[in-house]
Structure 1
Amino acid sequence: MKKVITLLCLVSFGFINAQEAFSGKGDIKVNVGANLQDGGSGIQGSVDFGLGENFSFGFVASYLLGVDNYSGFYHGSLTPYNDQKPEFIDRFDAKARINANLSSVIGVKQLDVYPGLSLGLHNFGAHVGGRYFFTDGFGVFTEVGFPVAKYGSNNDPFYHLNNQATFSLGASFNL
C-alpha cells in the first residue's frame, strides 16, 4: 500500500509541476528511447527544432539491436538462407521530418501532440507522437511511425525491418 501511495504522490507532483512542452520558434527538443517493432527492437534518437508556433522540423535515427535471424527460402527464391544476420544498412534508418505541434491548439501546454511526415533512407512515412514535460528540461515521449511509400524491392529477408509500423517511447529533453 505504501508503494501505491508513493507512486500516486510522484505522479501528482509531476502533473502539478508540469512545464510547457513546446514553446514555438527556437525551441529544441531531443528524444532518446526504445524502438519496438516486429522482428527486432532497438534505440531511437531524434531532435526537433521549432520554426513557428505550431511547426518544427527535425531528424530521427534508429538502430535495431536485437533482430531475428532468418533461415529458409525467402519469397520463393531458390537461394536458401541459413541463419542469415542483417547487415548494418538493414538495422539502421535515418530520416528528416516535419511536425505540426498541437499543444497550443488543444489548449494543454504541458502536452505536445505532433503528427508529421518523414523522408528517410528506406521510405517516406508518417508519424504521430506526444511529449509530456514534468520539469522545464525533462519529460517523456511516445511515438508511432508507419511507412507510406517504400523504396526498393522486397527481395531481401530484412527488407521489412525499416518498412513497417514502429512504436517508440522514452525520455525527452528540452535544450
Structure 2
Amino acid sequence: MKKVITLLFLVSFGFIHAQKAFSGKGDMKVNVGANLQDGGSGIQGSIDFGLGENFSFGFVSTYLLGVDNFNGYYHGGPTYYSDYKPEFKDRFDAKARINANLSSVIGVEQLDVYPGLSLGLKNFGGHIGGRYFFTDGFGVFTEIGFPIAKYSDNNDMFDHLNNQATFSLGASFNL
C-alpha cells in the first residue's frame, strides 16, 4: 500500500509542477525511445527545432534491433529462404519532418500535441504525437507514424520494415 501511495504522490507532483511543452521559435526538443511495428522493434531518435509559435521542423531516425527473420518461398518464387536476415538498409530509416505544435491552441501548455508530415528514405508519411513535460528539461512522448506514399513496389521481402504504421514512446528532453 505504501508503494501505491508513493507512486500516486509522485505522479500528482509531476502533473502539478509540469512545465511548458513547446515555447515556439528557438525551442529545441530531443526524443529518444522505443519504436514498435509489425515484424520488428527498435529505437527511435528525433530532434525538433521551433520556427514559430506553432511550427517546427526536425529529423527522425529509426533502427530496428529485433526483426523477424524470413523463412519460406518469397512471393511463390523458386528459391527457399531459411532464416534470412535483413541487412542494415532494411533496418534503418531517416526522415525530415515538419510539425504543427498545438499546445497553445488546445490551451494546455504542458502537453504538446503535434501532427505533421515527413519525407524519408522509405516513404512520404504523416505522424501525430504528444509530449508532456514534468520539469523544464524532462518529459515523455508518444507518436504514431504512417506512410502516405511508399517509394517501393514491395519487390524485396523486407520492404514492409520502416514502411508501415509505427508506434513510438519514450523520453523527451528540452535543450
TM-score by length of 1: 0.99
Deviation at 1:78, TM superposition (A): 2.2
CA-atom RMSD, angstroms?
0.6
Q: How does 1:67-86 map to 2 (within 5 A)?
A: 67-86=67-86
Q: Distance in 1 between matches of 2:6 and 2:150?
A: 47
Q: How does 1:16-35 map to 2 (within 5 A)?
A: 16-35=16-35
- Residues 74 and 155 of structure 1 are in contact (CA less than 8 Å); yes or no, is this contact kept in structure 2? no
Q: How does 1:131-170 map to 2 (within 5 A)?
A: 131-170=131-170
TM-score by length of 2: 0.99
Q: How does 1:13-52 map to 2 (within 5 A)?
A: 13-52=13-52
How many residues end up aligned between the 2 structures?
A: 175
Q: Distance in 1 between matches of 2:127 and 2:77?
A: 33
Q: Distance in 1 between matches of 2:79 and 2:152?
A: 19
Question: For 2:49, what is the secondary structure of its paired residue?
Answer: strand
For structure 2, which runs of at least 5 residues remain unmatched after alignment? none
Q: Distance in 2 between matches of 1:11 and 1:155?
A: 48
**Counterpart in 2 of 1:172?**
172
Deviation at 1:153, TM superposition (A): 2.0
What is the CA deviation profile of residues 107-133 of structure 1, one whole-angstrom value per residue up to 9, with x for unaligned ones? 000000000000000000000000000
Q: How does 1:58-97 map to 2 (within 5 A)?
A: 58-97=58-97
What is the CA deviation profile of residues 132-162 of structure 1, one whole-angstrom value per residue up to 9, with x for unaligned ones? 0000000000000010000122111111011
**Counterpart in 2 of 1:118?**
118
